[in-house]
Structures are given as structure tokens and as C-alpha cells.
Amino acid sequence: MARRTVRAAAGWLTATVVVLTACTGQPAGSSAAPPSVPSSAAPSSAVPSSAVPSSSGTTPPASGTPSTVPAIPGTSGAATAADSATATSGGSSASAAPSPLPSSGPSGTGSPSQFTPVLMQVLSTPRWFTGSDGKAHVVYEVQLTNAFPSSATLVELSAVDAASGATLADLRGSALAAAVSPLGRSTERLTEMGGGTVGVAWMELVVDRPADVPARIVHRLTVTVPPGYPIPERITSQGAASEVAAEPAMSLGPPLRGTGWIAAPSCCDGPHRRALQPIDNAEWLAQRFAIDFNKIDARHLLAGGDPAVNRSWFTYGQDVLAVADATVTAAVDGYRDQTPDAPRPVTIEEADGNHVILEVAPGRYAFYAHLEPGSVAVRPGQRVRRGDVIGRAGNTGSSSGPHLHFHLMDRPSALVADGVPFVFDRFTVTGQAPPLDRLIALDPAKDPVEVDPAGAGPRTDALPLDGNVVDFPGR
């Protein structure tokens, strides 16, 4: 597949990315939206480029103990050098024990309060699903805010089972850097947080069985701060406690039929996972568990002719199916196809392309995007049965090539909603496709996708993980 680089936007947030027949968020153009049933546009799903260097924080104070050290905001003025020496005894090797304040903690328990330069907040209820690997995956985000006047370095972030105390995830070093990005710049890495910086830790906890999913989790964060402040230079704090949703992921029928469907990208990292949107003074992540499906043929090719022609791609024109008995809440048609590998800019109204939203249960909505022009076969208010054809896969909206975008959410809006997990009740894993950077280097009509058959076999009530090649029932 020919490599291609575009200037794309995640919703309204711009980043340079590489794309593979997947959702892309092109800069808004001037084309008018055709008449359609109103529906919020989905944020882009552009594949991130390779990691960029960590962002740099505020320059720390000069080394050595000053005669007067900076005051902590909210305290009663500057501390003396002796105070600083006591608080930071041992310098950078000081204990990570809490930094006590004179008063008792806010809980009223009498335990000492603690300076916590970086504040933690869980953005949405952690939810879990069973993956095609047979394990349970808990997915959520922790927002990190450096409320300190100077820089803070992230050293370690752990998720802990609040009941047993068992550590479920322990992020440090390169794993921590890869898991945290600045808010609004999701393809970048962040470990050095300047004063006032906000970041997001994209969390995934993996346990062996659904029975091992914790009921409640709490987080432990270790940071370092520059010398010269009347607190330890290394601080470990605990917080951001959250209940984990107890209910299992909703089980759905297949959205497609037949063989050779690559789930790329899928959970649990990448452009969908990090498409956090600031709307109505809140943060929304409708695409948290979204999948883009791309079809290969028996030769493992993605296209059978000129890749610049949509109908050359084996995904194009494939029937798209209702995943459950449902009511149609939105059905939009009338947008024209993009040209593969040469998408034009679109408005935010056109980003979803031709699309359908189905209410599959109270508070659960299935979203299908980028459908073929003229193929949408349903209308708002219509009842559909599982397996009904509701449209055909296309290349409309914010898209670089034919594919089906599918996700489940808690509201009938592709933007203002919380993405919730789902599983498909029956499919077969036939193997694993290479990483995306290798896929995009292929000529789609000449270079077959190498599929590793390790782990192949039938699955029930599971979500295809990133790069899985799956067969759905039917032909």
C-alpha cells in the first residue's frame, strides 16, 4: 500500500498523521451539507504518526539551596533555607512519602494533608469487555493537571484494586510516556509537565478473567519537582478512586458478513481511542471502542484494480447489517464518495459521511459511518431486525478509503456521547495483520497482507482487538 501523509483534524484538533483506508478528519471546507436527518458529526480517526519527543516543561530553579525559597501558593509566604532543607532532606533521593501540612486532611479523619502537584481525575466510568485474547480489558482515562507553579516530572502511575491492594497496571519509563499525552495533542508524549499543563493518561487494565475485574480502582502517582521548594522533591500520592461498571459489554450480531475483515484500528489505543472532544463545557469520547473494518480477499489483497477507484477495494459496496433488533434514530444519505488516497476537505457536518444510528437498547446506540452514496436503506423511526441490510460500505465523509466505521455509544450523537464497549456474539479469528506502519507501506493491489495465523479460532462474545483478521457468519 502506498504511503500517504495528510493534514488531518481530530474533530477540530489538527495533527499530521498517516492514514490507511480509515477515518480521517479533514480541515473544514466550504461544501454545503445536503438535506439530511440532523446528526452530530463523528470526530476524525486518523492514524497517528510516530511518537514525537516529550514536551518540555518550565525551566526549574537553579540548583543549590537559595537563602529564600519560593512559597507554595496558599501558604503564608516564603520559607527559610532551613525549612527547605528539612522538607527536601536527601535532595532527589528523598523519600516518596507524603509531604505533610500542619492541618488535618480534608476528609476530617485526622490524617495529614499532602501537597499533590499533579492532580488526578478519572474522566468517565471505567468499563470492561472481553477481548479476542480471552482476557478482560478495563478502559478509561485519567486527566492529569499540574497545579504547581513549576514543572513536574511524571515518574510512575499505577492502578490498584481498591479492595485487595493488588497492582493492576504499573506505568513507568517508556510505557508511561506512551500512555500520556497533552490534552488536545493526543499524538504527542508527555512526562515533563510545565506549570499549568494538562495531560491525559489513556488507561487499559488487562486481567485474566471477567471475575478478576475490580469493583473499584484507585491510582498512585509519583512525580518529582525541582529543588528549592519546601516540599520533598519526590512525591507519591494516591487518589482518583473510581467504581468500575459492573455490567458486561453488550453482545451484538455482526455488522458485516463474510471473510477477511481486518479490525484496524481497534481497541485499545490509536486515533479512535484518543479522539477526546471538548463540547458544551465537557469532554466527550464517543469513539473509545470504535473499529474500522477493511476487507482483504483470498489472496490477502486489499484491492483488485486501480487503488484510486473506490470499487477496486474489496470493502466497497459490502452489505452493512443491523447488529440487533433496533429503531433507526438517524439516517443520512446524499454525500458523495471521496477519492481514495486523495480526500477533499469536508465540513464538520459531512465528517460522518452517509451514516446510520440505531437505538439497540435503552441508552445504547450503534453508529455506522462512511456509507456508499445512495445505499442507505432505512429512515428515522423505522424498526429493523438483526441482520437487515441498512446500507453498504463506502468512502464518504472524513475518510481516506473505503471502510466501515462502527462503534457503540450511550447517546444518539456521534460526538456528544460516551463510547461504551461491545462484543460480537460469534466470529472467527483467522490471524493477525502486521502493524499499521507496515500495512500502509503496501501496494493494496499488488502486495498481500501477511496474516500470522497464531491464535486463530472461533470466538464468542468478544471484541476483535487491533489488527485481528476476522470472518463473520454469512457470505
User: What's the DSSP call for residue 79?
Assistant: E
How far apart CA 226 and CA 246 sit, in angstroms, is 41
pLDDT of 206-228, one tens digit each?
Answer: 999 999 999 999 999 999 999 98
Contacts of 206-212 spanning 24+ positions with Cβ under 8 A: 206/135, 206/136, 206/137, 206/138, 206/169, 207/135, 207/136, 207/138, 207/168, 208/135, 208/136, 209/135, 209/136, 210/128, 210/130, 210/136, 210/248, 212/136
Asked whether the predicted pLDDT for residue 18 surpasses 50, the reply is no
How far apart CA 12 and CA 25 sit, in angstroms, is 8
Confirm whether 255 is domain-assigned.
yes
Confirm whether 193 is domain-assigned.
no
Confirm whether 367 is domain-assigned.
yes
Confirm whether 71 is domain-assigned.
no
Asked whether the predicted pLDDT for residue 288 surpasses 90, the reply is yes
pLDDT at 395: 98
Confirm whether 317 is domain-assigned.
yes
CB-CB contact of 261 with 471 (8 Å): yes
pLDDT of 234-277, one tens digit each?
Answer: 999 999 999 999 999 999 999 999 999 999 999 998 889 999 99
CATH number at residue 14: 2.70.70.10
**Per-residue cell: 208:** 485474566
How far apart CA 84 and CA 75 sit, in angstroms, is 14
Average pLDDT, the chain: 82
Asked whether the predicted pLDDT for residue 80 surpasses 70, the reply is no
What share of the chain in percent tops pLDDT 90?
72
Confirm whether 313 is domain-assigned.
yes
Give the DSSP letter string of 235-284.
Answer: EEEEEEEEEPP-SPPEEE--SS-EEEEEE-S-TTSSTTTT--EEETTEEE
Confirm whether 160 is domain-assigned.
no
Q: What's the Cα-to-Cα distance from 451 to each of 230, 235, 470, rounded to whole Å? A: 57, 46, 11
Q: Report the half-sphere exposure of 428 (CA within 13 A, side-chain side).
A: 13
Task: Give me the count of residues in the chain.
Answer: 475
- Residue 83 pLDDT class (50, 70, 90 cuts): very low
Whole-model pTM: value is: 0.80
pLDDT of 87-97, one tens digit each?
Answer: 322 233 333 44
Average pLDDT over residues 333-360: 96
Burial class, 320, CB count within 10 angstroms (exposed 0-12 / middle 13-18 / buried 19+)? buried
Residue 60: count of CB within 10 angstroms of its CB: 16
Number of domains forming the structure of the chain: 1
Q: Which helix (H) or strand (E) holds 83?
A: helix 81-87
Tell me the residue range of the domain where 458 lies.
Answer: 5-50+249-472
Give the residue, 144 or 51, on which the prediction is more confident: 144
How far apart CA 386 and CA 374 sit, in angstroms, is 21
Beta-carbon contacts of residue 316 (< 8 Å; ≥ 6 apart): 310, 372, 393, 394, 395, 402
Confirm whether 333 is domain-assigned.
yes
For residue 397, the one-letter residue type is G
pLDDT at 16: 26
- Residue 111 pLDDT class (50, 70, 90 cuts): low
**Per-residue cell: 145:** 493537571
Peptide bond into 268 cis (omega under 30): yes
Give the residue, 37 or 115, on which the prediction is more confident: 115
